[in-house]
Structure 1
Amino acid sequence: MVVAAASPLGVIGGPVPLGIGLGNGAGLPTAFAVSTVILLLFAVGFTALTPYVPNAGAFYSYIGKGLGRVTGLGFAFVALISYLALEIGVYGLIGQGAKALVESWGFPQLHWAVWALVAFAVVSVLGHRNIDLSRTVLGVLLIAEVAIVLVLDAVIVGKGGDHGLSTGFASIHTVLSGAPGIALLFAILSFVGFEATAVFRDEARDPDRTIPRATYLSLGLIGVFYAVSTWALLSGWGDDTAVAKAQSTPDTLLAQTTERYLGAVGGHIIQVLFVTSLFACILSFHNIGSRYVFTLAQRSALPSHVGRPHQHHGSPHLASAAVSVVVGVFLIIGVLADLDPVTQLYTWFAGVSTVGIVTLLLATSIAVPLFFARRRREGELTVPASRALVAPSLAVLGLTGVLILILANLPSLVGDSTAIAVGVVALLAATFAAGAALAWQRPQIVVD
Structure 2
Amino acid sequence: MSASSASDTGLRWGRLGTVHLVFFTVAASAPLTVLGGGVTTMYAVSGNVGAALSYVLLAGILAVFAVGYAAMSRFVSNAGAFYAYIAGGLGRAAGVSGSFVALAAYNAIQIGLYGLFGAVVGDFMATKFGVEQAWWVWALIGLLVVGALGILQVDLNATVLAVLLLLECLAVVVFDVVSLGNPAGGSVSLAGLDPGNLFAAGLGAVLALGIASFTGLESGAIYSEEVRDPRRTVARATYIAVAFTGGFYALSAWALTVATGPENAQAASAGAGPEVVFGILAEHAGTTVSDVVYLLFVTSVLAALLSFHNGVARYLFALGRERVLPAYLDRTGVRTGAPVTGSLTQSVLALGVVVAFVLADRDPVVDLFTWLSGVSAVGVVLLMTLTSAAVVGFFRRRPEGEVNTWQRLVAPALATVLLFAVLLVLVVNFDALLAPGSPRYLAWLLPGVTVVAGLAGLAWGLVLRSTRPTVYAAVGRGAAERTATEEEAEVAVNR
8 A Cα contact 1:181 1:407, kept in partner: no
Distance 1:135 1:101, change over 3 A: same
**CA offsets 1:80-111 (integer angstroms, 9 cap, x no match):** 11000001111122112212222332323332
Partner Cα separation in structure 2 for residue 258 and residue 175 of structure 1: 30
Partner Cα separation in structure 1 for residue 412 and residue 47 of structure 2: 28
In the alignment, which residue of structure 2 is the partner of 1:406?
426
Distance 1:126 1:61, change over 3 A: same
Q: Secondary structure at the match of 2:398?
A: helix
8 A Cα contact 1:130 1:316, kept in partner: no
8 A Cα contact 1:60 1:72, kept in partner: yes
2:470 aligned with 1:447, yes or no?
A: no
8 A Cα contact 1:24 1:183, kept in partner: no
Give 2:137's match in structure 1, choosing from 114, 137, 152: 114
Unaligned runs of 5+ in 2: 1-22, 478-495
Give 2:196's match in structure 1, choosing from 172, 178, 201: 172
Range 298-307 or range 45-54, more displaced: 298-307
8 A Cα contact 1:63 1:367, kept in partner: yes
1:43 Cα deviation from its structure 2 partner:
0.3
8 A Cα contact 2:74 2:232, kept in partner: no
8 A Cα contact 1:24 1:174, kept in partner: no
Give 1:51's match in structure 2, choosing from 53, 66, 74: 74
Unaligned runs of 5+ in 1: none
For residue 279 of structure 1, what is the amino acid of its counterpart?
A: L
For residue 259 of structure 1, what is the amino acid of its counterpart?
A: A
In the alignment, which residue of structure 2 is the partner of 1:384?
404
In the alignment, which residue of structure 2 is the partner of 1:224?
247
8 A Cα contact 1:372 1:381, kept in partner: no
For residue 416 of structure 2, what is the amino acid of its counterpart?
A: V
Partner Cα separation in structure 1 for residue 186 and residue 138 of structure 2: 38
In the alignment, which residue of structure 2 is the partner of 1:318?
341
How many pairs were matched up?
A: 444
Partner Cα separation in structure 2 for residue 160 and residue 419 of structure 1: 42
Q: Percent identity?
A: 37
**CA offsets 1:160-217 (integer angstroms, 9 cap, x no match):** 3455425144153554323x33322332221222222233444544433333222111
Q: Secondary structure at the match of 1:53?
A: coil
8 A Cα contact 2:53 2:195, kept in partner: no
Range 197-206 or range 353-362, more displaced: 197-206
Give 1:368's match in structure 2, choosing from 367, 385, 391: 391
1:416 Cα deviation from its structure 2 partner:
5.2
Distance 1:34 1:63, change over 3 A: same
| TM-score normalised by the chain length of structure 1 | 0.92
Distance 1:28 1:389, change over 3 A: same
Partner Cα separation in structure 2 for residue 133 and residue 240 of structure 1: 45
Partner Cα separation in structure 2 for residue 367 and residue 84 of structure 1: 23
Distance 1:174 1:62, change over 3 A: closer
Q: Cα RMSD (Å) of the superposition?
A: 2.3
8 A Cα contact 2:75 2:231, kept in partner: no
For residue 324 of structure 1, what is the amino acid of its counterpart?
A: S
Q: Secondary structure at the match of 1:375?
A: coil
1:300 Cα deviation from its structure 2 partner:
1.7
For residue 7 of structure 1, what is the amino acid of its counterpart?
A: A
Note the 1:127-276 alignment, pairs <5 A. 127-129=150-152, 133-162=156-185, 164=187, 165=189, 167-170=191-194, 172-173=196-197, 175-178=199-202, 180-276=203-299
Partner Cα separation in structure 2 for residue 175 and residue 96 of structure 1: 34
In the alignment, which residue of structure 2 is the partner of 1:30?
53
8 A Cα contact 1:234 1:242, kept in partner: yes
**CA offsets 1:213-251 (integer angstroms, 9 cap, x no match):** 221111101110000001101221123433123223323
1:112 Cα deviation from its structure 2 partner:
2.1
For residue 22 of structure 1, what is the amino acid of its counterpart?
A: V
In the alignment, which residue of structure 2 is the partner of 1:348?
371
Partner Cα separation in structure 1 for residue 167 and residue 149 of structure 2: 23
